[in-house]
Amino acid sequence: MKDNIWKKYSDEDITKLNEICDEYRKFISESKIEREVTRNSIKIAEEYGFINLDKYINEGRNLYPGAKVYVNNRNKSLALFVIGKEDITKGINILGAHVDSPRLDLKASPLYEDTDLAYLDTHYYGGIKKYQWVTLPLALHGVIAKKNGDVINVVIGEDESDPVIGITDLLPHLGAEQMKKEASKVVEGEKLDVLIGSMPNDEEENAVKNNILTILKNKYDIEEEDFLSAEIEVVPAGKARDFGLDRSMVMAYGQDDKVCAYTSLRAFLDVTDVNRTTSCILVDKEEIGSVGSTGMRSNFYENAIAEICSLLGHNEVTALPRTLKNSFMLSSDVNAAYDPLYSDVMDKRSSSYFNNGVVFCKYTGSRGKAGSNDADAEYIAKLRKIMDDNNVYFQISELGKVDAGGGGTIAYILANKSVNVIDCGVGVLSMHAPWEVTAKADIYEAYKCYVAFLKEA
């Protein structure tokens, strides 16, 4: 464990750190789901002069050094590029983070009534400890698509005037048998239904459910059947907060991986005069294997690079593979920070620590490195030099003890396409819990790391 980096900061560093972390708290509070991250990131990028790549394609315009473009993938993934002075086939410097987080999704026909209580039926998404999601104030975020083509944004539970919803739990007085169960079964998936109402209207049958439908009709002009074409996510209600009496940490929902998504985006937008083309990917579905049309396994990112190569005059079939082969990437994803309360699953010599800087993880995967990207020594040496030359504090870590478990990121997917890639992000406590904790100093160092990488890799 290295020295706590707060001891090394100047007043100027602390001012910049607080600026970035204040903006981060605001961003993550307003960007709890992947659609909101994409929408808000596009809004910020357009303020920096970025233009949708489709505009260049549709108008038959060529790209040029200094051009700033983005690709919006179904409103749930985003790729941004700044065209560099060098030939793009010499490679791209890429920052890639995912913007989905563990949560509860509403089922296709979620609304039902039981004993004068109205519920929403859910299906959990990603790796969660189910018992952590009961008795919390929860909110609804997402969209409802209607047959007439309208898409309605839904956010209920975030404004101070909004009601919240939640999942009930069994009282301890009657919970003797429940407490004998394994932690994974203390609360089972089908018990994660969200209580949303108890007031009937004037009708006799399903009067509470019908009253809820009336409220939704008045607020959003939707019918019950519109849930069939909805994407509604249940997430913790409330804003990101300073954590600790010294305000040295941040507590928020979804910091895996939005803490890296924000710092990557912020660094990317701050570095515009580049020799090599730079890119920032904010991608969906990592928590369930990067599958689907908005996940990293889809071709959307390769297709975007191919379009850019074409608009730069590279129409040869070798342009895309050559560009990928010569590219460098930081897979901007979080790491499990050392928690002394759970030291039995941590390797103290190979863990990441709060306030020790940004974390490089040579390989993730599980046990015998299954499913990992194993970054090569030459690339790590290159990154070490960049970090040292730019006074970036960093640490190199594994994800817990060898046989304790493991995890994965999007790194191996780009590595399979010949991109030189390593995981690099922020240490997190209580990862995948409804509320996660990060250290402000590590957030700041991640931002510095990403800036240095984009400029010098």
**Mean pLDDT score, 93-120:** 96
CB 448, CB 330: distance < 8 Å: no
Q: What is the pLDDT of residues 306-360, one digit of tens each?
A: 999 999 999 999 999 999 999 999 999 999 999 999 988 878 888 899 999 999 9
Q: What is the pLDDT of residues 52-82, one digit of tens each?
A: 999 999 998 999 999 999 999 999 999 999 9
Take residue 198 and report the two structure tokens written for it. Answer: 């108890």
Q: What are phi and psi of 96, to 5 degrees?
A: -130, 120
Can you list the domains of the chain with their CATH numbers? 5-101+253-456 (3.40.630.10), 103-236 (2.30.250.10)
Amino acid at 41: S
The rounded percent of the chain whose pLDDT value lies above 70 is 96
pTM over 0.75: yes
- Exposed, middle or buried, 2 (CB in 10 Å: 0-12/13-18/19+)? exposed
Closest to 69 measured CA to CA, from 312, 258, 368, 370: 312
Q: What is the pLDDT of residues 181-232, one digit of tens each?
A: 999 999 999 999 999 999 998 777 899 999 999 999 998 999 999 999 999 9
> Peptide bond preceding 257: is omega within 30 degrees of 0, i.e. cis?
yes
Q: What is the pLDDT of residues 408-439, one digit of tens each?
A: 788 889 999 999 999 999 999 999 999 999 99
Strand partners, 200: none
Show the beta-strand stretches assigned E in 180-276. Answer: 194-197, 230-236, 241-243, 249-252
